[in-house]
Structure 1
Amino acid sequence: MIKDILIKKSKGEPVYQTRKPFMRFLRFRVGGLFFLVDLPLVLEISKPLEFYPVPDSNIFLLGLMNLRNNIIPVYDVRYMLDIQTVWKSEKSSVIVLSFQDGTIGLFVDEVKDIVSIYDEREILSGDDFISGYGVEFEGDKLSILDLEFIFSKNDKE
Protein backbone atom coordinates (compact mmCIF):
# COMPACT_ATOMS: atom_id res chain seq x y z
CA MET A 1 0.00 0.00 0.00
CA ILE A 2 2.78 2.45 0.86
CA LYS A 3 4.55 1.52 -2.37
CA ASP A 4 1.36 2.36 -4.33
CA ILE A 5 1.11 5.74 -2.59
CA LEU A 6 4.75 6.58 -3.39
CA ILE A 7 4.28 5.59 -7.05
CA LYS A 8 1.20 7.81 -7.33
CA LYS A 9 3.05 10.72 -5.71
CA SER A 10 6.00 10.33 -8.08
CA LYS A 11 3.63 10.47 -11.05
CA GLY A 12 1.89 13.55 -9.67
CA GLU A 13 -1.38 11.66 -9.22
CA PRO A 14 -3.65 12.54 -6.30
CA VAL A 15 -3.35 10.26 -3.31
CA TYR A 16 -6.59 9.63 -1.49
CA GLN A 17 -6.61 7.94 1.84
CA THR A 18 -9.93 6.70 3.07
CA ARG A 19 -10.84 7.63 6.60
CA LYS A 20 -12.15 4.86 8.74
CA PRO A 21 -15.46 5.75 10.38
CA PHE A 22 -15.54 6.14 14.15
CA MET A 23 -19.12 4.76 14.21
CA ARG A 24 -21.68 3.67 11.65
CA PHE A 25 -25.44 3.85 12.00
CA LEU A 26 -28.52 2.72 10.12
CA ARG A 27 -30.79 5.71 9.44
CA PHE A 28 -34.54 5.08 9.43
CA ARG A 29 -37.74 7.11 9.45
CA VAL A 30 -40.67 6.93 11.83
CA GLY A 31 -43.43 9.42 11.09
CA GLY A 32 -41.69 12.62 10.02
CA LEU A 33 -38.54 12.00 12.07
CA PHE A 34 -35.28 10.22 11.25
CA PHE A 35 -33.41 8.12 13.80
CA LEU A 36 -30.15 6.20 13.99
CA VAL A 37 -29.38 2.77 15.41
CA ASP A 38 -25.88 1.41 15.89
CA LEU A 39 -25.06 -0.60 12.74
CA PRO A 40 -23.25 -3.49 14.49
CA LEU A 41 -26.56 -4.30 16.23
CA VAL A 42 -28.40 -4.72 12.91
CA LEU A 43 -28.71 -8.33 11.80
CA GLU A 44 -30.94 -7.72 8.79
CA ILE A 45 -33.77 -5.67 7.33
CA SER A 46 -36.96 -7.52 6.48
CA LYS A 47 -40.26 -6.70 4.88
CA PRO A 48 -43.03 -6.96 7.48
CA LEU A 49 -44.45 -10.46 7.57
CA GLU A 50 -47.51 -11.61 9.46
CA PHE A 51 -47.47 -10.58 13.13
CA TYR A 52 -48.97 -12.98 15.67
CA PRO A 53 -50.47 -11.10 18.62
CA VAL A 54 -49.34 -11.78 22.17
CA PRO A 55 -52.23 -11.63 24.66
CA ASP A 56 -51.85 -9.16 27.55
CA SER A 57 -48.66 -7.65 26.11
CA ASN A 58 -47.59 -4.01 26.09
CA ILE A 59 -49.21 -1.83 23.44
CA PHE A 60 -45.87 -1.26 21.70
CA LEU A 61 -45.37 -4.99 21.03
CA LEU A 62 -46.95 -5.58 17.61
CA GLY A 63 -46.58 -9.31 17.98
CA LEU A 64 -44.32 -12.16 17.04
CA MET A 65 -42.91 -12.63 13.55
CA ASN A 66 -41.66 -15.91 12.09
CA LEU A 67 -38.48 -15.07 10.21
CA ARG A 68 -37.00 -18.23 8.67
CA ASN A 69 -38.20 -20.37 11.59
CA ASN A 70 -36.95 -17.88 14.18
CA ILE A 71 -39.67 -16.29 16.27
CA ILE A 72 -38.85 -12.67 17.11
CA PRO A 73 -40.86 -10.03 18.98
CA VAL A 74 -41.55 -6.96 16.83
CA TYR A 75 -42.00 -3.58 18.49
CA ASP A 76 -43.65 -0.51 17.00
CA VAL A 77 -41.23 2.38 17.38
CA ARG A 78 -44.06 4.89 16.95
CA TYR A 79 -45.76 3.76 20.14
CA MET A 80 -42.48 3.49 22.03
CA LEU A 81 -41.53 7.08 21.15
CA ASP A 82 -45.07 8.49 21.27
CA ILE A 83 -45.09 9.43 17.57
CA GLN A 84 -48.29 9.73 15.54
CA THR A 85 -49.23 6.25 14.34
CA VAL A 86 -49.08 5.61 10.60
CA TRP A 87 -50.11 2.26 9.18
CA LYS A 88 -47.95 -0.04 7.11
CA SER A 89 -46.88 1.14 3.64
CA GLU A 90 -44.71 -0.30 0.86
CA LYS A 91 -41.64 1.29 2.45
CA SER A 92 -42.31 -0.17 5.92
CA SER A 93 -39.63 -2.49 7.22
CA VAL A 94 -38.65 -4.50 10.24
CA ILE A 95 -35.11 -3.86 11.44
CA VAL A 96 -33.92 -7.09 13.04
CA LEU A 97 -31.47 -6.33 15.85
CA SER A 98 -29.33 -8.12 18.34
CA PHE A 99 -30.48 -6.82 21.72
CA GLN A 100 -29.23 -8.00 25.10
CA ASP A 101 -29.17 -11.81 24.79
CA GLY A 102 -31.70 -12.13 22.00
CA THR A 103 -33.12 -10.83 18.76
CA ILE A 104 -35.88 -8.25 18.35
CA GLY A 105 -37.51 -6.44 15.48
CA LEU A 106 -38.34 -2.75 15.20
CA PHE A 107 -41.22 -1.84 12.88
CA VAL A 108 -40.34 1.42 11.09
CA ASP A 109 -41.82 3.45 8.24
CA GLU A 110 -38.71 3.42 6.06
CA VAL A 111 -35.07 2.39 6.18
CA LYS A 112 -33.03 5.14 4.54
CA ASP A 113 -29.28 4.47 4.45
CA ILE A 114 -26.07 4.06 6.45
CA VAL A 115 -24.55 7.11 8.13
CA SER A 116 -20.86 7.18 9.02
CA ILE A 117 -19.50 9.34 11.82
CA TYR A 118 -15.75 10.02 11.56
CA ASP A 119 -15.08 11.82 14.82
CA GLU A 120 -16.48 11.26 18.30
CA ARG A 121 -16.96 15.03 18.59
CA GLU A 122 -19.77 14.75 16.02
CA ILE A 123 -21.91 12.99 18.63
CA LEU A 124 -23.91 15.61 20.50
CA SER A 125 -25.90 15.46 23.69
CA GLY A 126 -28.92 17.40 24.85
CA ASP A 127 -32.68 17.54 25.16
CA ASP A 128 -33.04 17.87 21.38
CA PHE A 129 -32.48 14.13 21.15
CA ILE A 130 -34.92 11.48 22.38
CA SER A 131 -32.30 9.28 24.06
CA GLY A 132 -30.22 12.30 25.09
CA TYR A 133 -27.69 12.14 22.27
CA GLY A 134 -27.49 12.23 18.49
CA VAL A 135 -25.78 13.84 15.51
CA GLU A 136 -26.37 16.59 13.01
CA PHE A 137 -26.36 15.11 9.52
CA GLU A 138 -27.29 16.84 6.26
CA GLY A 139 -28.89 19.68 8.22
CA ASP A 140 -31.09 17.40 10.37
CA LYS A 141 -30.78 16.49 14.02
CA LEU A 142 -30.88 12.71 14.26
CA SER A 143 -31.46 10.97 17.57
CA ILE A 144 -29.40 7.87 18.22
CA LEU A 145 -31.72 5.24 19.66
CA ASP A 146 -30.51 3.80 22.92
CA LEU A 147 -32.68 0.67 23.09
CA GLU A 148 -32.03 0.05 26.78
CA PHE A 149 -33.15 3.62 27.54
CA ILE A 150 -36.28 3.28 25.37
CA PHE A 151 -37.29 -0.09 26.87
CA SER A 152 -36.65 1.03 30.46
CA LYS A 153 -38.66 4.22 29.84
CA ASN A 154 -41.61 2.20 28.53
CA ASP A 155 -41.39 -0.40 31.34
CA LYS A 156 -41.90 2.38 33.91
CA GLU A 157 -45.10 3.63 32.24
Structure 2
Amino acid sequence: MTEMTAEQASSADAEALLRDDDNIENMYLTFAIGTETYGVPIAVVTEIVGMQRIMTVPDVPRYIKGVINLRGKVIPLMDVRLRFNLEERAYDDRTVIIVLELGTSPVGLIVDRVSEVLEIADDHIDSANGLGGGDSQGLVQGLGRVGENVAIILNSGLLVSDAELSMPEAATA
Protein backbone atom coordinates (compact mmCIF):
# COMPACT_ATOMS: atom_id res chain seq x y z
CA MET A 1 0.00 0.00 0.00
CA THR A 2 1.35 3.43 -0.88
CA GLU A 3 1.21 6.41 1.45
CA MET A 4 -0.49 9.63 0.42
CA THR A 5 1.29 12.93 0.74
CA ALA A 6 -0.52 15.72 2.58
CA GLU A 7 -1.15 17.43 -0.77
CA GLN A 8 -2.68 14.26 -2.28
CA ALA A 9 -4.82 13.71 0.83
CA SER A 10 -6.19 17.26 0.83
CA SER A 11 -6.81 17.01 -2.92
CA ALA A 12 -8.67 13.72 -2.37
CA ASP A 13 -10.70 15.33 0.45
CA ALA A 14 -11.59 18.28 -1.77
CA GLU A 15 -12.63 15.95 -4.60
CA ALA A 16 -14.80 13.93 -2.21
CA LEU A 17 -16.50 17.12 -1.01
CA LEU A 18 -17.15 18.25 -4.57
CA ARG A 19 -18.72 14.87 -5.45
CA ASP A 20 -21.16 14.97 -2.52
CA ASP A 21 -23.59 17.75 -3.39
CA ASP A 22 -25.26 17.50 0.05
CA ASN A 23 -22.04 18.58 1.74
CA ILE A 24 -21.19 21.71 -0.22
CA GLU A 25 -24.05 24.00 0.81
CA ASN A 26 -22.27 25.25 3.94
CA MET A 27 -18.70 24.69 2.73
CA TYR A 28 -16.33 27.57 2.13
CA LEU A 29 -12.83 27.68 0.70
CA THR A 30 -10.90 29.98 3.01
CA PHE A 31 -7.86 31.98 2.04
CA ALA A 32 -5.66 34.65 3.55
CA ILE A 33 -5.02 38.19 2.48
CA GLY A 34 -2.47 39.53 4.93
CA THR A 35 -3.57 38.45 8.40
CA GLU A 36 -7.30 38.20 7.60
CA THR A 37 -9.20 35.08 6.59
CA TYR A 38 -11.77 35.25 3.80
CA GLY A 39 -14.08 32.60 2.37
CA VAL A 40 -15.97 31.91 -0.82
CA PRO A 41 -18.58 29.19 -1.34
CA ILE A 42 -16.87 25.97 -2.46
CA ALA A 43 -19.68 25.47 -4.98
CA VAL A 44 -18.23 28.21 -7.24
CA VAL A 45 -14.59 27.07 -6.96
CA THR A 46 -13.41 24.96 -9.89
CA GLU A 47 -9.72 24.69 -9.07
CA ILE A 48 -6.70 26.17 -7.36
CA VAL A 49 -3.58 26.67 -9.46
CA GLY A 50 -0.13 28.02 -8.79
CA MET A 51 1.05 31.32 -10.17
CA GLN A 52 1.97 31.36 -13.82
CA ARG A 53 2.82 33.84 -16.53
CA ILE A 54 0.25 36.63 -16.56
CA MET A 55 -0.39 38.45 -19.83
CA THR A 56 -1.12 42.09 -19.10
CA VAL A 57 -4.13 43.77 -20.65
CA PRO A 58 -4.12 47.54 -21.23
CA ASP A 59 -6.72 49.97 -19.92
CA VAL A 60 -8.13 47.89 -17.05
CA PRO A 61 -8.38 48.77 -13.35
CA ARG A 62 -5.24 48.34 -11.25
CA TYR A 63 -6.60 45.24 -9.51
CA ILE A 64 -7.06 43.37 -12.82
CA LYS A 65 -3.57 41.93 -13.31
CA GLY A 66 -4.28 40.51 -16.77
CA VAL A 67 -5.18 37.08 -18.10
CA ILE A 68 -3.81 33.56 -18.12
CA ASN A 69 -4.31 30.79 -20.64
CA LEU A 70 -5.34 27.78 -18.56
CA ARG A 71 -5.68 24.70 -20.75
CA GLY A 72 -7.06 26.74 -23.63
CA LYS A 73 -9.34 28.99 -21.57
CA VAL A 74 -8.55 32.67 -21.20
CA ILE A 75 -9.15 33.59 -17.57
CA PRO A 76 -9.07 37.19 -16.28
CA LEU A 77 -7.21 37.60 -12.99
CA MET A 78 -8.10 39.87 -10.09
CA ASP A 79 -5.57 40.55 -7.35
CA VAL A 80 -7.81 40.49 -4.27
CA ARG A 81 -5.32 42.60 -2.26
CA LEU A 82 -5.59 45.39 -4.80
CA ARG A 83 -9.37 44.96 -5.09
CA PHE A 84 -9.56 45.67 -1.35
CA ASN A 85 -7.25 48.69 -1.70
CA LEU A 86 -4.51 46.99 0.31
CA GLU A 87 -0.79 47.34 -0.22
CA GLU A 88 0.57 45.38 -3.18
CA ARG A 89 3.11 42.71 -2.36
CA ALA A 90 5.36 40.49 -4.43
CA TYR A 91 3.97 37.07 -5.28
CA ASP A 92 5.75 34.16 -3.62
CA ASP A 93 5.58 30.36 -3.58
CA ARG A 94 2.37 30.44 -1.45
CA THR A 95 0.53 32.86 -3.75
CA VAL A 96 -2.15 31.01 -5.71
CA ILE A 97 -4.99 31.57 -8.14
CA ILE A 98 -8.45 30.42 -7.11
CA VAL A 99 -10.50 29.84 -10.26
CA LEU A 100 -14.21 30.54 -9.81
CA GLU A 101 -16.99 29.69 -12.23
CA LEU A 102 -19.64 32.38 -11.97
CA GLY A 103 -22.26 32.22 -14.66
CA THR A 104 -20.57 31.22 -17.88
CA SER A 105 -17.18 32.83 -17.35
CA PRO A 106 -14.28 31.66 -15.21
CA VAL A 107 -12.46 34.27 -13.11
CA GLY A 108 -9.20 33.89 -11.21
CA LEU A 109 -8.59 35.42 -7.79
CA ILE A 110 -4.98 35.96 -6.79
CA VAL A 111 -4.67 35.41 -3.03
CA ASP A 112 -1.76 35.32 -0.57
CA ARG A 113 -2.41 31.69 0.36
CA VAL A 114 -5.21 29.13 0.58
CA SER A 115 -6.10 28.02 4.10
CA GLU A 116 -8.65 25.21 4.18
CA VAL A 117 -12.19 24.16 3.35
CA LEU A 118 -14.49 24.84 6.30
CA GLU A 119 -18.05 23.89 7.00
CA ILE A 120 -19.79 26.90 8.53
CA ALA A 121 -23.43 26.38 9.47
CA ASP A 122 -25.85 29.21 8.72
CA ASP A 123 -26.35 29.83 12.44
CA HIS A 124 -22.60 30.51 12.75
CA ILE A 125 -22.66 33.24 10.10
CA ASP A 126 -23.50 36.70 11.41
CA SER A 127 -24.96 39.41 9.22
CA ALA A 128 -22.61 41.97 7.73
CA ASN A 129 -25.20 44.76 7.75
CA GLY A 130 -23.60 48.08 8.54
CA LEU A 131 -20.12 46.98 7.47
CA GLY A 132 -18.22 48.45 4.59
CA GLY A 133 -18.88 51.47 2.56
CA GLY A 134 -18.09 52.88 -0.81
CA ASP A 135 -16.61 50.26 -3.16
CA SER A 136 -16.64 47.47 -0.58
CA GLN A 137 -20.32 47.79 0.35
CA GLY A 138 -22.06 44.49 -0.27
CA LEU A 139 -18.87 42.49 -0.81
CA VAL A 140 -19.07 41.05 2.70
CA GLN A 141 -21.90 38.52 2.77
CA GLY A 142 -21.38 37.58 6.39
CA LEU A 143 -18.97 36.87 9.20
CA GLY A 144 -18.46 33.16 9.83
CA ARG A 145 -17.55 32.15 13.37
CA VAL A 146 -15.14 29.21 13.46
CA GLY A 147 -14.07 28.53 17.03
CA GLU A 148 -12.29 31.66 18.23
CA ASN A 149 -11.69 32.91 14.68
CA VAL A 150 -13.80 34.78 12.16
CA ALA A 151 -13.82 34.18 8.41
CA ILE A 152 -15.11 37.04 6.29
CA ILE A 153 -17.53 35.41 3.84
CA LEU A 154 -17.43 37.24 0.52
CA ASN A 155 -20.22 37.67 -1.99
CA SER A 156 -18.23 36.22 -4.88
CA GLY A 157 -20.77 37.43 -7.43
CA LEU A 158 -20.33 41.05 -6.38
CA LEU A 159 -16.58 40.69 -5.94
CA VAL A 160 -16.13 39.84 -9.60
CA SER A 161 -19.19 41.49 -11.13
CA ASP A 162 -17.34 44.41 -12.66
CA ALA A 163 -17.56 44.86 -16.42
CA GLU A 164 -13.75 44.85 -16.59
CA LEU A 165 -13.75 41.09 -15.99
CA SER A 166 -15.62 40.30 -19.18
CA MET A 167 -12.58 41.14 -21.29
CA PRO A 168 -12.71 38.20 -23.71
CA GLU A 169 -16.42 38.64 -24.50
CA ALA A 170 -16.18 42.45 -24.58
CA ALA A 171 -14.04 42.33 -27.70
CA THR A 172 -16.71 40.38 -29.59
CA ALA A 173 -19.70 42.40 -28.41
CA offsets per residue over residues 10-67 of structure 1, 9 Å max, x none? xxxxxxxxxx675000010011211001001000000011000111011110100111
1:148 aligns with 2:148: no
1:152 offset after TM fit, Å?
A: 5.4
Identity %: 24
Give the Å deviation of 1:151.
4.0
Does the alignment pair 1:76 with 2:79? yes
Structure 1 Cα separation of the partners of residues 154 and 28 of structure 2: 10
1-side partners of 2:104 and 2:147: how far apart?
Answer: 34
Task: Tell me which of 99, 103, 115 is aligned to 2:106.
Answer: 103
Q: Which of 46, 59, 80 is 2:49 aligned to? A: 46
**Larger displacement relative to structure 2 (134-143 or 46-55):** 134-143
Change (3 A) 1:45 1:136: same
Higher helix share: 2
Larger of the two Rg values belongs to structure: 1
Aligned length in residues: 136
Residues 128, 51 of structure 1: alpha-carbon distance in 2 compared, 3 angstrom cutoff: same
Aligned to 2:19: none
Equivalent residue for 1:139, pick from 128, 132, 148: 148
- Which ranges of structure 2 fall in alignment gaps of 5 or more residues? 1-22, 133-138, 165-173
2:78 touches 2:110 (CA, 8 Å); kept in 1?
A: yes
* Residue identity in the other structure for 1:38: P
- Offset of residue 150 of structure 1: 2.8
Runs of 4+ in 1 over 2 A off after TM superposition: 126-130, 147-155
Q: Which residue of 1 aligns with 2:124?
A: 122
Q: Alignment partner of 1:149: what SS?
A: helix
